[in-house]
Structure 1
Amino acid sequence: MDHFQFQPWFPTGIKHIIAAGASNYVAVVDEHTVLKFPIVSPQEDGVYSEKGRAYRKNAGERAVIGLEIEEKILNTLGHHPRIIQLRQQYLRDIDPDTSLEQRLKWASQAAEGLAYIHSKNVLHCDISVGNLLLDTDLNIKLSDFQGRLQHPDGTVFIDGGAAESTMSSMPRLDRNYCDYKTDIFALGTAIYQMMKGHPPFTDLDPVDDEDEIQRRFKDGELPALGDNWGDDVIWKCWAGGYESATEVVRDLQK
Protein backbone atom coordinates (compact mmCIF):
# COMPACT_ATOMS: atom_id res chain seq x y z
CA MET A 1 0.00 0.00 0.00
CA ASP A 2 1.14 3.55 -0.77
CA HIS A 3 2.04 5.10 2.57
CA PHE A 4 1.74 8.61 1.07
CA GLN A 5 -1.93 8.04 0.15
CA PHE A 6 -4.61 8.75 2.73
CA GLN A 7 -8.14 7.36 2.52
CA PRO A 8 -10.94 9.33 4.23
CA TRP A 9 -12.24 7.88 7.47
CA PHE A 10 -15.42 8.90 9.23
CA PRO A 11 -15.57 9.51 12.98
CA THR A 12 -18.96 8.86 14.55
CA GLY A 13 -21.44 11.69 14.04
CA ILE A 14 -20.09 13.36 10.89
CA LYS A 15 -22.20 13.73 7.75
CA HIS A 16 -19.64 14.41 5.05
CA ILE A 17 -16.12 15.74 4.56
CA ILE A 18 -15.96 19.25 3.10
CA ALA A 19 -12.23 19.95 3.05
CA ALA A 20 -8.83 18.32 3.44
CA GLY A 21 -5.49 19.89 4.33
CA ALA A 22 -1.99 18.57 4.74
CA SER A 23 -2.77 17.09 8.16
CA ASN A 24 -6.51 17.23 8.77
CA TYR A 25 -9.99 16.73 7.36
CA VAL A 26 -12.91 19.07 8.04
CA ALA A 27 -16.37 17.46 8.11
CA VAL A 28 -19.94 18.56 8.77
CA VAL A 29 -21.56 17.47 12.03
CA ASP A 30 -24.75 19.55 11.88
CA GLU A 31 -25.98 22.91 10.62
CA HIS A 32 -23.89 24.82 13.15
CA THR A 33 -20.84 22.62 13.72
CA VAL A 34 -17.93 21.09 11.84
CA LEU A 35 -15.28 18.69 13.11
CA LYS A 36 -11.60 19.00 12.27
CA PHE A 37 -9.73 15.72 12.70
CA PRO A 38 -6.41 14.09 11.66
CA ILE A 39 -6.13 12.49 8.22
CA VAL A 40 -4.64 9.36 9.80
CA SER A 41 -7.18 7.20 11.61
CA PRO A 42 -6.11 6.14 15.13
CA GLN A 43 -7.34 2.62 14.24
CA GLU A 44 -5.54 2.45 10.91
CA ASP A 45 -4.83 -1.16 9.94
CA GLY A 46 -3.17 -0.87 6.53
CA VAL A 47 -0.19 -3.05 5.63
CA TYR A 48 2.79 -0.72 5.31
CA SER A 49 6.53 -1.01 5.32
CA GLU A 50 8.45 0.09 8.40
CA LYS A 51 9.18 3.39 6.62
CA GLY A 52 5.50 3.77 5.77
CA ARG A 53 4.34 3.15 9.33
CA ALA A 54 6.86 5.69 10.65
CA TYR A 55 5.75 8.29 8.09
CA ARG A 56 2.06 7.87 8.87
CA LYS A 57 2.66 7.83 12.63
CA ASN A 58 4.54 11.12 12.29
CA ALA A 59 1.75 12.61 10.14
CA GLY A 60 -0.84 11.66 12.75
CA GLU A 61 1.21 13.10 15.60
CA ARG A 62 1.76 16.37 13.71
CA ALA A 63 -1.97 16.66 13.08
CA VAL A 64 -2.78 16.22 16.78
CA ILE A 65 -0.14 18.77 17.79
CA GLY A 66 -1.56 21.22 15.25
CA LEU A 67 -5.08 20.78 16.61
CA GLU A 68 -3.85 21.32 20.17
CA ILE A 69 -2.13 24.54 19.09
CA GLU A 70 -5.28 25.69 17.29
CA GLU A 71 -7.31 25.05 20.45
CA LYS A 72 -4.89 27.15 22.53
CA ILE A 73 -4.98 30.01 20.04
CA LEU A 74 -8.79 29.95 19.86
CA ASN A 75 -8.99 29.95 23.66
CA THR A 76 -6.73 33.00 23.69
CA LEU A 77 -8.87 34.78 21.11
CA GLY A 78 -12.13 34.16 22.96
CA HIS A 79 -15.46 35.13 21.38
CA HIS A 80 -15.60 37.51 18.43
CA PRO A 81 -18.16 37.78 15.61
CA ARG A 82 -15.42 37.30 13.00
CA ILE A 83 -13.92 34.16 14.56
CA ILE A 84 -15.21 30.69 13.75
CA GLN A 85 -18.38 29.06 14.79
CA LEU A 86 -18.06 26.90 11.71
CA ARG A 87 -20.49 26.09 8.93
CA GLN A 88 -19.98 24.02 5.80
CA GLN A 89 -19.75 26.90 3.33
CA TYR A 90 -16.40 28.21 2.16
CA LEU A 91 -15.87 31.64 0.70
CA ARG A 92 -13.79 30.15 -2.13
CA ASP A 93 -17.10 29.16 -3.77
CA ILE A 94 -18.21 32.68 -4.71
CA ASP A 95 -21.30 32.93 -6.90
CA PRO A 96 -20.46 35.14 -9.92
CA ASP A 97 -23.76 36.98 -9.38
CA THR A 98 -22.78 38.04 -5.85
CA SER A 99 -23.31 41.78 -5.52
CA LEU A 100 -20.47 44.27 -5.16
CA GLU A 101 -21.97 45.34 -1.84
CA GLN A 102 -21.78 41.77 -0.50
CA ARG A 103 -18.20 41.30 -1.72
CA LEU A 104 -17.09 44.53 -0.05
CA LYS A 105 -18.87 43.47 3.14
CA TRP A 106 -16.93 40.20 3.14
CA ALA A 107 -13.65 42.01 2.50
CA SER A 108 -14.31 44.36 5.40
CA GLN A 109 -15.31 41.51 7.71
CA ALA A 110 -12.17 39.53 6.84
CA ALA A 111 -10.07 42.60 7.65
CA GLU A 112 -11.99 43.07 10.92
CA GLY A 113 -11.23 39.49 11.90
CA LEU A 114 -7.56 39.89 11.09
CA ALA A 115 -7.37 43.16 13.03
CA TYR A 116 -8.92 41.43 16.04
CA ILE A 117 -6.53 38.47 16.12
CA HIS A 118 -3.57 40.84 15.68
CA SER A 119 -4.83 42.80 18.70
CA LYS A 120 -4.53 39.53 20.65
CA ASN A 121 -0.92 39.00 19.47
CA VAL A 122 -1.93 36.18 17.11
CA LEU A 123 -0.50 35.83 13.60
CA HIS A 124 -2.66 33.71 11.31
CA CYS A 125 0.10 32.94 8.75
CA ASP A 126 -2.35 31.38 6.26
CA ILE A 127 -5.05 33.90 5.37
CA SER A 128 -6.88 32.74 2.22
CA VAL A 129 -10.44 32.44 0.95
CA GLY A 130 -10.23 28.76 1.89
CA ASN A 131 -9.88 29.77 5.54
CA LEU A 132 -12.71 32.29 5.46
CA LEU A 133 -16.02 30.60 6.26
CA LEU A 134 -19.58 31.86 6.11
CA ASP A 135 -22.20 31.47 8.84
CA THR A 136 -25.92 31.06 8.22
CA ASP A 137 -26.28 34.83 7.75
CA LEU A 138 -23.43 34.93 5.20
CA ASN A 139 -21.04 36.66 7.57
CA ILE A 140 -17.30 35.93 7.54
CA LYS A 141 -15.64 33.73 10.16
CA LEU A 142 -11.85 33.26 10.21
CA SER A 143 -10.75 29.65 10.63
CA ASP A 144 -7.70 27.35 10.74
CA PHE A 145 -5.71 28.85 13.60
CA GLN A 146 -2.39 27.04 13.39
CA GLY A 147 -0.26 30.17 13.11
CA ARG A 148 1.61 31.88 15.94
CA LEU A 149 0.80 33.24 19.36
CA GLN A 150 3.21 35.92 20.53
CA HIS A 151 4.09 37.68 23.74
CA PRO A 152 3.43 41.45 23.63
CA ASP A 153 7.14 42.00 22.91
CA GLY A 154 6.84 39.92 19.73
CA THR A 155 8.57 36.76 20.89
CA VAL A 156 6.78 33.62 19.73
CA PHE A 157 5.71 31.10 22.37
CA ILE A 158 3.30 28.96 20.31
CA ASP A 159 4.07 28.18 16.67
CA GLY A 160 1.73 25.94 14.69
CA GLY A 161 3.91 26.04 11.59
CA ALA A 162 1.24 27.43 9.25
CA ALA A 163 2.38 29.05 5.99
CA GLU A 164 0.60 30.75 3.10
CA SER A 165 0.15 29.30 -0.36
CA THR A 166 2.22 30.82 -3.16
CA MET A 167 -0.55 33.16 -4.34
CA SER A 168 -0.85 34.59 -0.82
CA SER A 169 2.81 34.72 0.14
CA MET A 170 4.63 38.04 0.41
CA PRO A 171 8.07 37.64 -1.25
CA ARG A 172 10.73 37.27 1.45
CA LEU A 173 13.93 35.36 2.05
CA ASP A 174 12.47 33.11 4.75
CA ARG A 175 9.08 31.68 3.74
CA ASN A 176 8.56 30.57 7.34
CA TYR A 177 8.79 34.14 8.63
CA CYS A 178 5.42 35.71 9.45
CA ASP A 179 4.38 39.11 10.78
CA TYR A 180 1.48 41.54 10.53
CA LYS A 181 2.47 42.66 7.03
CA THR A 182 2.71 39.13 5.63
CA ASP A 183 -0.80 38.47 6.99
CA ILE A 184 -2.04 41.70 5.38
CA PHE A 185 -0.39 40.77 2.07
CA ALA A 186 -2.28 37.46 2.14
CA LEU A 187 -5.46 39.37 2.98
CA GLY A 188 -4.89 41.37 -0.22
CA THR A 189 -4.94 38.16 -2.25
CA ALA A 190 -8.11 37.02 -0.48
CA ILE A 191 -9.81 40.36 -1.19
CA TYR A 192 -8.66 40.15 -4.83
CA GLN A 193 -10.33 36.75 -5.15
CA MET A 194 -13.50 38.01 -3.47
CA MET A 195 -13.74 41.00 -5.80
CA LYS A 196 -12.64 39.37 -9.06
CA GLY A 197 -14.02 35.87 -8.54
CA HIS A 198 -10.72 34.14 -9.29
CA PRO A 199 -7.17 34.03 -7.90
CA PRO A 200 -4.42 36.30 -9.27
CA PHE A 201 -2.22 35.14 -12.15
CA THR A 202 -4.73 32.76 -13.73
CA ASP A 203 -2.14 32.03 -16.44
CA LEU A 204 0.15 30.41 -13.86
CA ASP A 205 -0.07 27.20 -11.87
CA PRO A 206 0.29 27.84 -8.10
CA VAL A 207 2.59 24.82 -7.71
CA ASP A 208 4.52 24.48 -10.97
CA ASP A 209 4.98 28.24 -11.40
CA GLU A 210 5.76 29.16 -7.79
CA ASP A 211 9.02 30.95 -8.64
CA GLU A 212 7.39 33.03 -11.38
CA ILE A 213 4.51 34.03 -9.12
CA GLN A 214 6.93 35.17 -6.44
CA ARG A 215 9.02 37.04 -9.04
CA ARG A 216 5.98 38.93 -10.32
CA PHE A 217 4.93 39.95 -6.82
CA LYS A 218 8.48 40.99 -5.97
CA ASP A 219 8.91 43.03 -9.17
CA GLY A 220 5.49 44.66 -8.87
CA GLU A 221 4.10 42.90 -11.96
CA LEU A 222 0.67 42.64 -10.39
CA PRO A 223 -2.61 41.57 -11.95
CA ALA A 224 -4.45 44.41 -13.64
CA LEU A 225 -6.07 46.71 -11.09
CA GLY A 226 -8.06 49.77 -12.03
CA ASP A 227 -10.43 52.17 -10.32
CA ASN A 228 -12.91 49.54 -9.19
CA TRP A 229 -14.03 49.38 -5.58
CA GLY A 230 -11.39 47.65 -3.48
CA ASP A 231 -8.61 47.78 -6.08
CA ASP A 232 -6.65 50.44 -4.21
CA VAL A 233 -6.87 48.38 -1.01
CA ILE A 234 -5.66 45.22 -2.77
CA TRP A 235 -2.70 47.09 -4.26
CA LYS A 236 -1.78 48.65 -0.92
CA CYS A 237 -1.93 45.24 0.85
CA TRP A 238 0.42 43.77 -1.76
CA ALA A 239 2.71 46.80 -1.67
CA GLY A 240 3.18 46.63 2.11
CA GLY A 241 1.51 50.01 2.50
CA TYR A 242 -0.51 49.16 5.58
CA GLU A 243 0.92 49.13 9.09
CA SER A 244 -2.11 47.36 10.53
CA ALA A 245 -5.23 45.49 9.48
CA THR A 246 -7.24 48.22 11.22
CA GLU A 247 -6.10 50.57 8.46
CA VAL A 248 -7.44 48.10 5.88
CA VAL A 249 -10.82 48.09 7.64
CA ARG A 250 -10.85 51.89 7.62
CA ASP A 251 -10.18 52.11 3.88
CA LEU A 252 -12.76 49.45 3.01
CA GLN A 253 -15.43 51.24 5.03
CA LYS A 254 -14.83 54.69 3.56
Structure 2
Amino acid sequence: MMDLDIGRGASSSVHRVKSGIIVKVPRQKWWGGDSKDMEVCGGPGYAKEVFEREEEILNRLGVHPRIFRYLGPSEDPRGLLFEEASHGSLWDYIKSTDNKIELSLRLKWRSQAAEAVEYLHQNGILHCDVRPDNFLLHGNSEQTLDLLICDFGGSTIDGRRGLSSPSAGFANPKNDPFDFVDMKAFTPAMDIFALGSTFYAIMTGYDPYRSSRRELWTFKDVLGYAALVKRRFSTKDFPPTDDLVGGNVIVGCWNEDYHDMKALIKAQEHCFEKLGP
Protein backbone atom coordinates (compact mmCIF):
# COMPACT_ATOMS: atom_id res chain seq x y z
CA MET A 1 0.00 0.00 0.00
CA MET A 2 1.51 3.31 -1.10
CA ASP A 3 0.90 6.76 0.31
CA LEU A 4 -0.36 9.51 -1.94
CA ASP A 5 2.10 11.34 -4.18
CA ILE A 6 4.92 13.05 -2.33
CA GLY A 7 6.33 14.38 -5.60
CA ARG A 8 5.43 14.59 -9.26
CA GLY A 9 7.41 15.46 -12.37
CA ALA A 10 6.86 15.48 -16.11
CA SER A 11 7.38 11.74 -16.53
CA SER A 12 7.05 10.21 -13.05
CA SER A 13 5.48 10.44 -9.61
CA VAL A 14 7.01 9.57 -6.24
CA HIS A 15 5.22 7.66 -3.46
CA ARG A 16 6.18 6.56 0.03
CA VAL A 17 6.18 2.76 0.29
CA LYS A 18 6.98 2.71 4.01
CA SER A 19 8.99 4.78 6.43
CA GLY A 20 12.30 5.69 4.80
CA ILE A 21 11.55 4.03 1.43
CA ILE A 22 10.04 5.68 -1.65
CA VAL A 23 9.24 4.47 -5.15
CA LYS A 24 9.51 6.49 -8.35
CA VAL A 25 6.78 5.35 -10.74
CA PRO A 26 6.43 6.25 -14.45
CA ARG A 27 3.35 8.36 -15.14
CA GLN A 28 2.80 6.40 -18.36
CA LYS A 29 2.58 2.64 -18.81
CA TRP A 30 4.33 1.13 -21.82
CA TRP A 31 3.54 -2.41 -20.69
CA GLY A 32 0.35 -4.42 -20.23
CA GLY A 33 -2.42 -2.24 -21.59
CA ASP A 34 -3.37 1.34 -22.29
CA SER A 35 -1.88 4.30 -20.48
CA LYS A 36 -4.17 6.62 -18.56
CA ASP A 37 -1.73 9.44 -19.17
CA MET A 38 -0.81 9.05 -22.83
CA GLU A 39 -0.06 12.69 -23.59
CA VAL A 40 2.40 13.44 -20.81
CA CYS A 41 5.78 14.53 -22.11
CA GLY A 42 5.96 12.66 -25.40
CA GLY A 43 4.02 9.43 -24.97
CA PRO A 44 4.84 6.00 -23.57
CA GLY A 45 7.91 5.57 -25.80
CA TYR A 46 9.52 8.58 -24.15
CA ALA A 47 8.47 7.37 -20.69
CA LYS A 48 10.07 3.99 -21.33
CA GLU A 49 13.32 5.54 -22.51
CA VAL A 50 13.51 7.89 -19.51
CA PHE A 51 12.80 5.10 -17.03
CA GLU A 52 15.32 2.69 -18.55
CA ARG A 53 17.95 5.43 -18.87
CA GLU A 54 17.67 6.30 -15.19
CA GLU A 55 17.87 2.65 -14.12
CA GLU A 56 20.98 2.10 -16.28
CA ILE A 57 22.69 5.17 -14.84
CA LEU A 58 21.85 4.30 -11.24
CA ASN A 59 23.27 0.81 -11.70
CA ARG A 60 26.50 2.26 -13.08
CA LEU A 61 26.87 4.86 -10.32
CA GLY A 62 26.37 2.40 -7.48
CA VAL A 63 26.66 3.59 -3.89
CA HIS A 64 28.30 7.00 -3.43
CA PRO A 65 27.86 9.60 -0.67
CA ARG A 66 26.67 12.24 -3.15
CA ILE A 67 24.22 10.05 -5.09
CA PHE A 68 20.58 9.54 -4.05
CA ARG A 69 20.60 6.01 -2.63
CA TYR A 70 19.09 3.55 -5.13
CA LEU A 71 17.70 0.32 -3.65
CA GLY A 72 16.73 -1.51 -6.84
CA PRO A 73 13.71 -1.99 -9.10
CA SER A 74 10.15 -2.48 -7.91
CA GLU A 75 7.72 -4.80 -9.71
CA ASP A 76 4.44 -3.80 -8.05
CA PRO A 77 4.16 -0.96 -8.64
CA ARG A 78 6.69 -0.94 -11.45
CA GLY A 79 9.29 1.64 -10.59
CA LEU A 80 12.57 2.44 -8.86
CA LEU A 81 13.07 2.21 -5.10
CA PHE A 82 15.12 4.76 -3.15
CA GLU A 83 16.01 5.60 0.41
CA GLU A 84 13.95 8.67 1.25
CA ALA A 85 15.93 11.88 1.79
CA SER A 86 15.11 13.27 5.23
CA HIS A 87 14.66 16.93 4.25
CA GLY A 88 13.43 16.79 0.66
CA SER A 89 14.81 18.88 -2.17
CA LEU A 90 17.37 21.64 -1.75
CA TRP A 91 15.01 24.15 -3.36
CA ASP A 92 12.07 23.25 -1.13
CA TYR A 93 14.33 23.52 1.91
CA ILE A 94 15.55 26.97 0.89
CA LYS A 95 11.93 28.10 0.52
CA SER A 96 10.76 26.51 3.78
CA THR A 97 13.52 28.20 5.80
CA ASP A 98 13.07 31.53 3.99
CA ASN A 99 16.75 31.13 3.08
CA LYS A 100 17.88 31.46 6.71
CA ILE A 101 20.81 29.06 6.39
CA GLU A 102 24.29 29.22 7.94
CA LEU A 103 27.08 30.24 5.56
CA SER A 104 29.13 27.17 6.51
CA LEU A 105 26.27 24.92 5.38
CA ARG A 106 25.89 26.77 2.07
CA LEU A 107 29.58 26.38 1.32
CA LYS A 108 29.48 22.70 2.22
CA TRP A 109 26.58 22.18 -0.17
CA ARG A 110 28.46 23.96 -2.94
CA SER A 111 31.42 21.65 -2.46
CA GLN A 112 29.16 18.61 -2.36
CA ALA A 113 27.25 19.67 -5.48
CA ALA A 114 30.55 19.95 -7.35
CA GLU A 115 31.67 16.57 -5.97
CA ALA A 116 28.43 14.99 -7.21
CA VAL A 117 28.72 16.35 -10.74
CA GLU A 118 32.40 15.42 -10.94
CA TYR A 119 31.50 11.82 -10.02
CA LEU A 120 28.91 11.74 -12.80
CA HIS A 121 31.40 13.01 -15.37
CA GLN A 122 34.01 10.48 -14.24
CA ASN A 123 31.46 7.78 -15.05
CA GLY A 124 30.60 9.01 -18.54
CA ILE A 125 27.38 10.71 -17.46
CA LEU A 126 26.18 14.29 -17.98
CA HIS A 127 23.24 15.21 -15.78
CA CYS A 128 21.76 17.75 -18.26
CA ASP A 129 19.39 19.35 -15.72
CA VAL A 130 21.50 20.54 -12.78
CA ARG A 131 19.40 22.82 -10.54
CA PRO A 132 18.39 23.03 -6.86
CA ASP A 133 15.26 20.90 -7.46
CA ASN A 134 17.49 17.99 -8.48
CA PHE A 135 19.51 17.95 -5.28
CA LEU A 136 18.17 16.40 -2.08
CA LEU A 137 19.12 16.97 1.55
CA HIS A 138 19.64 14.14 4.01
CA GLY A 139 20.90 14.02 7.58
CA ASN A 140 20.09 13.50 11.23
CA SER A 141 19.80 17.22 11.97
CA GLU A 142 19.60 20.50 10.09
CA GLN A 143 23.20 21.26 11.05
CA THR A 144 24.50 18.08 9.40
CA LEU A 145 22.50 17.97 6.17
CA ASP A 146 24.35 16.57 3.17
CA LEU A 147 23.59 17.10 -0.51
CA LEU A 148 22.65 14.25 -2.87
CA ILE A 149 22.07 14.55 -6.61
CA CYS A 150 19.05 12.84 -8.14
CA ASP A 151 16.87 12.47 -11.25
CA PHE A 152 18.89 10.93 -14.08
CA GLY A 153 16.07 10.12 -16.51
CA GLY A 154 17.08 12.92 -18.87
CA SER A 155 20.85 12.45 -18.50
CA THR A 156 23.34 11.37 -21.15
CA ILE A 157 25.47 8.27 -20.77
CA ASP A 158 28.39 7.28 -23.00
CA GLY A 159 27.61 10.04 -25.49
CA ARG A 160 23.97 9.17 -26.12
CA ARG A 161 21.69 12.17 -26.54
CA GLY A 162 20.15 13.66 -23.44
CA LEU A 163 16.43 13.35 -22.86
CA SER A 164 16.16 16.74 -21.15
CA SER A 165 18.10 19.98 -21.01
CA PRO A 166 18.71 22.64 -18.34
CA SER A 167 15.88 24.87 -17.21
CA ALA A 168 15.85 28.60 -17.93
CA GLY A 169 18.32 30.33 -15.63
CA PHE A 170 20.54 27.24 -15.63
CA ALA A 171 21.04 26.87 -19.39
CA ASN A 172 23.96 28.30 -21.32
CA PRO A 173 22.52 31.00 -23.64
CA LYS A 174 24.39 29.37 -26.53
CA ASN A 175 21.99 26.44 -26.26
CA ASP A 176 18.23 26.33 -26.67
CA PRO A 177 16.80 25.09 -23.34
CA PHE A 178 13.95 23.42 -25.25
CA ASP A 179 16.17 21.63 -27.82
CA PHE A 180 16.79 18.00 -26.83
CA VAL A 181 18.31 17.07 -30.22
CA ASP A 182 21.37 19.34 -30.53
CA MET A 183 24.16 16.94 -29.56
CA LYS A 184 26.70 19.80 -29.53
CA ALA A 185 24.98 21.13 -26.40
CA PHE A 186 25.57 17.95 -24.40
CA THR A 187 29.06 18.54 -23.01
CA PRO A 188 30.49 18.89 -19.49
CA ALA A 189 30.23 22.66 -20.00
CA MET A 190 26.43 22.32 -19.86
CA ASP A 191 26.56 20.98 -16.30
CA ILE A 192 29.29 23.41 -15.22
CA PHE A 193 27.27 26.42 -16.39
CA ALA A 194 24.22 25.11 -14.54
CA LEU A 195 26.33 24.59 -11.41
CA GLY A 196 27.15 28.30 -11.47
CA SER A 197 23.45 29.11 -11.28
CA THR A 198 22.96 26.44 -8.61
CA PHE A 199 25.76 27.96 -6.52
CA TYR A 200 24.08 31.35 -6.98
CA ALA A 201 20.76 29.95 -5.74
CA ILE A 202 22.46 28.33 -2.74
CA MET A 203 24.07 31.64 -1.78
CA THR A 204 21.14 34.00 -2.44
CA GLY A 205 18.02 31.85 -2.22
CA TYR A 206 16.94 32.93 -5.70
CA ASP A 207 17.27 31.78 -9.29
CA PRO A 208 19.37 34.12 -11.47
CA TYR A 209 17.63 37.42 -12.25
CA ARG A 210 14.75 36.72 -9.89
CA SER A 211 13.79 38.37 -6.60
CA SER A 212 10.91 36.02 -5.79
CA ARG A 213 10.71 32.29 -5.06
CA ARG A 214 7.21 32.16 -6.51
CA GLU A 215 6.79 29.42 -9.10
CA LEU A 216 6.35 30.47 -12.73
CA TRP A 217 3.02 28.79 -13.39
CA THR A 218 2.00 30.09 -16.83
CA PHE A 219 3.68 29.31 -20.13
CA LYS A 220 3.85 33.06 -20.77
CA ASP A 221 5.79 33.60 -17.53
CA VAL A 222 8.17 30.74 -18.32
CA LEU A 223 8.88 32.02 -21.83
CA GLY A 224 9.29 35.58 -20.58
CA TYR A 225 11.81 34.51 -17.95
CA ALA A 226 13.68 32.33 -20.46
CA ALA A 227 13.97 35.26 -22.88
CA LEU A 228 15.17 37.63 -20.14
CA VAL A 229 17.78 35.19 -18.89
CA LYS A 230 19.07 34.38 -22.36
CA ARG A 231 19.39 38.07 -23.27
CA ARG A 232 21.28 39.00 -20.12
CA PHE A 233 23.50 35.93 -19.96
CA SER A 234 24.34 36.39 -23.67
CA THR A 235 25.65 39.90 -23.02
CA LYS A 236 27.42 38.76 -19.82
CA ASP A 237 25.16 41.03 -17.79
CA PHE A 238 25.40 38.61 -14.89
CA PRO A 239 23.53 38.90 -11.59
CA PRO A 240 25.64 40.68 -8.95
CA THR A 241 28.03 38.34 -7.15
CA ASP A 242 30.64 40.70 -5.67
CA ASP A 243 29.20 40.36 -2.16
CA LEU A 244 28.93 36.57 -2.32
CA VAL A 245 31.61 34.24 -0.97
CA GLY A 246 33.04 32.55 -4.03
CA GLY A 247 31.20 34.91 -6.35
CA ASN A 248 34.15 34.82 -8.74
CA VAL A 249 33.72 31.05 -9.06
CA ILE A 250 30.05 31.48 -9.94
CA VAL A 251 30.96 33.96 -12.67
CA GLY A 252 33.70 31.60 -13.82
CA CYS A 253 31.09 28.90 -14.41
CA TRP A 254 28.94 31.31 -16.42
CA ASN A 255 31.98 32.54 -18.35
CA GLU A 256 33.04 28.96 -19.19
CA ASP A 257 36.41 29.51 -17.51
CA TYR A 258 36.59 25.89 -16.29
CA HIS A 259 37.20 23.23 -18.93
CA ASP A 260 36.29 20.40 -16.56
CA MET A 261 35.05 19.73 -13.03
CA LYS A 262 38.57 19.27 -11.69
CA ALA A 263 39.41 22.88 -12.61
CA LEU A 264 36.18 24.16 -11.08
CA ILE A 265 36.70 22.25 -7.83
CA LYS A 266 40.29 23.46 -7.56
CA ALA A 267 39.19 27.10 -7.98
CA GLN A 268 36.39 26.74 -5.45
CA GLU A 269 38.57 25.01 -2.86
CA HIS A 270 41.21 27.73 -3.24
CA CYS A 271 38.54 30.38 -2.70
CA PHE A 272 37.09 28.70 0.39
CA GLU A 273 40.55 28.10 1.91
CA LYS A 274 41.07 31.85 2.05
CA LEU A 275 38.22 32.10 4.56
CA GLY A 276 40.22 30.20 7.16
CA PRO A 277 38.76 27.86 9.81
Change (3 A) 1:44 1:218: same
Distance 2:41 2:259 in 1: 41
Write out aligned runs for 1:1-254 (5 A). 12-13=1-2, 15-40=3-28, 55=39, 59-85=43-69, 86-87=84-85, 89-93=88-92, 94=94, 95=97, 96-137=99-140, 138-146=145-153, 147-150=155-158, 156=159, 158-173=160-175, 175-176=179-180, 177-202=185-210, 205-253=221-269, 254=273
Change (3 A) 1:59 1:243: same
Q: CA deviation at 1:104?
A: 0.6
Distance 1:22 1:108 in 2: 29
Cα offsets for 1:48-69 (capped at 9, x unmatched): xxxxx86469623322321111
Q: CA deviation at 1:22?
A: 1.5
TM-score by length of 1: 0.81
Identical aligned residues as a percent: 32
Specify which structure has the bigger relative contact order, considering alpha-carbon pairs within 8 angstroms and separated by 6 or more residues. Answer: 1
Change (3 A) 1:208 1:26: farther
Distance 2:43 2:35 in 1: 15
Give the unaligned 5+ runs of structure 1.
1-11, 47-52, 151-155
Change (3 A) 1:54 1:81: closer
Aligned residues: 230
Root-mean-square deviation (CA, aligned residues, Å) is: 2.5
Q: CA deviation at 1:208?
A: 2.5
Distance 1:45 1:118 in 2: 35
Counterpart amino acid of residue 201 in structure 1: Y
Q: CA deviation at 1:114?
A: 0.3
Change (3 A) 1:87 1:210: same
Counterpart amino acid of residue 104 in structure 1: L
